[in-house]
Amino acid sequence: MLDTPSNRPELPPEIARRRTFAIISHPDAGKTTLTEKFLLYGGAIQMAGQVRAKGEARRTRSDFMQMEKDRGISVSASAMSFDFKSFRFNLVDTPGHSDFSEDTYRTLTAVDAAVMVIDGAKGVESQTQKLFEVCRLRDLPILTFCNKMDRESRDTFDIIDEIQENLAIDVTPASWPIGVGRDFLGCYDMLHDRLELMDRADRNKVAESVSINGLDDPKLDELIPANLLEKLREEVEMARELLPTFDRQALLEGTMTPIWFGSAINSFGVKELMDGIGSYGPEPQPQQADPRQIAPEETKVAGFVFKVQANMDPKHRDRVAFVRMASGHFKRGMKLTHVRTKKPMAISNPVLFLASDRELAEEAWAGDIIGIPNHGQLRIGDTLTEGEVLRAKGIPSFAPELLQGVRAGDPMKAKHLEKALMQFAEEGAAKVFKPSIGSGFIVGVVGALQFEVLGSRIELEYGLPVRFEASQFTSARWVHGDRLAVEKFVNANKQHISYDHDGDVVYLTRLQWDIDRVERDYPDITLSATKEMM
Ligand code: G4P
């Protein structure tokens, strides 16, 4: 049951019950553990430990790559769907390592909200801050989970102050911790006047919930030691005076975050957070597109590709395009228009990523994420509709910040390398530039770890060892202008010109001075650091 009425009463109930979100956090804050508990409560897995088990079970889920197994980091993002109470949750996984990739940004274009997990002892860490800034660009609603309260943690007011100050967002306590570390007993649920008491004996047990009648209820004396109870009363009174009260509208506008305290590993506070996502989190939101926005309640189906993953199963050279459904009620077998090529596409084998497995998606509603296996037709930023020409907006392609030359270990395999690189470029895993003079390719990435990921994937998936080498260039800019102006520019600057996988002209350079010079000498040309994916 919704605690608060839907703010979009026009939505069909199947859409209104959907919550599509990502978890943002700094590595080690507990994202994997929390995900696992979500799935446990969502009935998607039977036993805790399946997600983070370091054996086979874990590998079959989101760790498709050797590198991930080796390093224990989740380099690729995936989507998981599960039901919780009356809600359907779609959790889109964001890469959690400290290196940044465009995947992360794009993932956040496919969700309506984010859960920010912080470690109670460490507060807001660098990666959380970066990801938060990306969410803010889109005013994404954010729900916060302060984890590891079973360990020595910082003072509750300190944590809240730090979030308010560092992230410039109002914080309202949805729960208040009772004791910390060894003394952590549970939380007082500030929104429902309840006590949630943690069971330390059984990590997978849902906390005991005790309804009370305010903090003066005599029942409390039996449940909480006197010193902790006194502290709780004082703190909650202060919190009520000093901190803003919960306002769903402010949450939906991205100006306020409710915070829950808990311990993911002890399954504590997780159910309350899930209740919060369901009751207060946003329903599927309208998606920005050209020439008009797409509303989820529209009866015609539309969706956009925010991620492409190649070779998910090395035995079958398939690619899966992850599509965020923007509107309507999709049914398997539907024929949709692939707007970029204007060609019809029969979607006969869409998959839904239930936590334990891929499954054929017989249907999907606005808000859902489905995977469409394909042979390369679907690219990031592509839109699928029932015929209308609509283009998803706001899926960025970033100018790479690091460039390196790449060569096949075996020079006879150059053609194979080209094929592999083109595939990764289409997948959005890297930018690939073919210089107009000379041989070889230049690969551009946003974070250094991406080179390693790319190298190991080319070797693993194509059996091609590769070598990266320093490039004379450090920056790439897409060249825009009318055809003649671009031609003239290309002819005069051949040694700087290359082409990306779409054949678009890219200016490569080492010096900001060059970029300034082009802007000065070629008023008909614009150089841009990003290119919207189309
Ligand atoms: P991440 O995905 O955000 O990187 O974090 P992950 O869930 O992997 O958790 C990081 C570490 O923190 C893990 O310990 C995990 O067991 C621990 N952890 C998660 N939630 C809690 C909590 O509520 N309380 C406490 N005390 N610890 C928690 P590890 O030693 O790195 O891994 P493992 O040996 O336990 O597998």
- Provide ipTM, 2 decimals: 0.98
Q: Is 147 annotated as a binding residue?
A: yes
Cα(147) to centroid(ligand 1), Å: 10
Strand partners, 24: 116
pLDDT at 50: 43
Contact 503, 493 (CB under 8 A): no
DSSP track, 485-512: HHHHHHHHTGGGEEE-TT--EEEEES-H
322 CA from centroid of ligand 1 (Å): 28
CA dihedral 144, 148, 152, 154 (to 10 degrees): -10
Pocket of ligand 1, candidates 126, 265, 270: which has the most ligand atoms within 8 Å of its Cβ, to mutate?
Answer: 265
Of the candidates 14, 43, 79, 58, the residue with the CA atom closest to the CA atom of residue 328: 14
Contact 154 CB / ligand 1 (< 6 Å):
no
Q: Is 31 in the pocket of ligand 1 (CB under 6 A)?
A: yes
Q: Where are the domains of the chain?
A: 15-186+245-280, 289-392, 399-532
Those residues with Cβ within 8 angstroms of residue 192's Cβ, 6 or more apart along the chain or in another chain: none
Rg of the chain on CA atoms, in Å: 25
What is the signed CA dihedral for 323, 324, 325, 327, rounded to 10 degrees? -130
Q: What is the pTM of this model?
A: 0.82
Spatial separation of the C-alpha atoms in residues 495 and 22, rounded to whole Å: 43
Give one DSSP letter per residue of 61-102, joined into a string. Answer: TT--SHHHHHHT---S--EEEEEETTEEEEEEP---SSS--H
- C-alpha dist (Å) from residue 303 to 294, 365, 388: 9, 10, 12
pLDDT in tens, 47-76: 444 444 444 433 333 433 444 444 333 333
Ligand 1 near 27 CB (within 6 A): yes
- The residue to mutate among 33, 119, 128, 263, having the most atoms of ligand 1 within 8 angstroms of its beta carbon, is 33
The C-alpha atoms of residue 274 and residue 199 are separated, in whole angstroms, by 19
Q: What is the CATH number of domain 289-392?
A: 3.40.50.300
**CA-to-CA distance for 214 and 203, rounded, in angstroms?**
28
Q: What is the 24 CA–ligand 1 centroid distance (Å)? A: 15
According to the model, what pLDDT value does residue 75 have?
A: 32
Do domains 289-392 and 399-532 share one topology? The answer is no
CATH class in words for 15-186+245-280: alpha beta
Does residue 25 line the site of ligand 1, with CB under 6 A?
yes
- Please report, in tens digits, the pLDDT of each residue of the chain (534 residues total): 344 456 677 899 999 999 999 999 998 999 989 988 898 888 765 444 444 444 443 333 343 344 444 433 333 337 888 899 999 999 998 765 555 567 777 888 999 999 999 999 999 998 899 889 889 988 999 999 999 999 999 999 999 999 999 999 999 999 999 999 999 999 999 999 999 988 777 666 666 788 888 899 999 999 999 999 999 999 999 999 999 999 999 999 999 999 999 999 999 999 999 999 999 999 999 999 999 999 999 999 999 999 887 766 555 566 788 999 999 999 999 999 999 999 999 999 888 876 555 677 889 999 999 989 888 889 888 999 999 999 988 776 667 888 999 999 888 888 889 989 988 888 777 899 999 998 889 999 877 777 888 888 888 888 899 999 999 999 999 999 999 999 999 999 999 999 998 899 999 999 889 999 999 999 999 998 877 554
416 is in an annotated binding site: no
Is 128 close to ligand 1, i.e. is its CB under 6 Å away? no
Helices within 369-413 (DSSP H only): none
Between the CA of 121 and the centroid of ligand 1 the distance, in Å, is 13
Query: Is 281 known to sit in a ligand binding site?
Result: no
Q: Which atom of ligand 1 is nearest to the CA of 28?
A: 4
Q: Which two tokens stand for residue 392?
A: 């998803």
How far is the C-alpha of 303 from the C-alpha of 327, rounded, in Å? 7
Q: Is the CB of 144 under 6 A from ligand 1?
A: no
Annotation: CATH topology of 399-532: Alpha-Beta Plaits (3.30.70)
Tokens 């009425």 sit on residue:
5
User: Residue for token digits 């228009």?
Assistant: 337
Which residue of 28, 71, 91, 125 sits with most ligand 1 atoms within 8 Å of its CB, as the best mutation to test the pocket? 28
Nearest residue (CA) to ligand 1, atom 15: 30
C-beta of residue 71 within 8 angstroms of C-beta of residue 41: no
